[in-house]
Amino acid sequence: VLHFIHDDQEKLKLLRAIKDDLKQGAPFFLLVHTDSVMGRSYKIIEHLEKFWLDAGREPSKVEDMLKTIMKISFIPEHQIQELLTQAGFTGVTQFYSTGIMGGWMCH
């Protein structure tokens, strides 16, 4: 849900609350919408729009889907690592990356 929170301090607050609820040394895995290269996620969304329209979806439905996607806070990968570190997690390691998703593990 981190990508639905737009305020960085609120993201940090959530991550700290998660860390505080975990047993000492427990692993934590985070999957989140990300933007490894600023603007790349938005370019992918443009391709999704074309794909959906070419596949025959109604333009109004495509527009609604795009509005939903645009509510997401695409977080730069370096910022996710910084937030996890600031929240007190250790051994922050990225283990997964696609066009608009990334995964991190830490303790």
Q: How far is CA 36 from CA 40, 54, 55, 67, 88, in A?
A: 7, 27, 28, 21, 23
Which helix (DSSP H) or strand (DSSP E) does residue 29 occupy? Answer: strand 28-33
CA separation for the pair 8, 79 (Å, rounded): 9
Q: What is the pLDDT of residue 40?
A: 60
Which helix (DSSP H) or strand (DSSP E) does residue 77 occupy? Answer: helix 77-86
Q: What is the pLDDT of residue 37?
A: 54
pLDDT, tens digit (0-9, with 9 covering 90-100), for 89-103? 999 999 998 877 889
Give the DSSP letter of residue 41: H
Q: In a structure prediction context, what are the per-residue pLDDT tens digits for the chain, which is 107 residues long?
A: 888 898 999 999 999 999 999 999 899 999 998 876 555 666 777 788 888 999 999 999 988 888 887 777 778 888 999 999 999 999 999 999 887 788 999 99
The pair of three-digit structure tokens given for residue 85, joined into one six-digit string? 């570190």
Tell me the HSE value of 4 on the side-chain side, using a 13 A CA sphere.
Answer: 3
The pair of three-digit structure tokens given for residue 55, joined into one six-digit string? 């596949």
pLDDT, tens digit (0-9, with 9 covering 90-100), for 76-88? 888 999 999 999 9
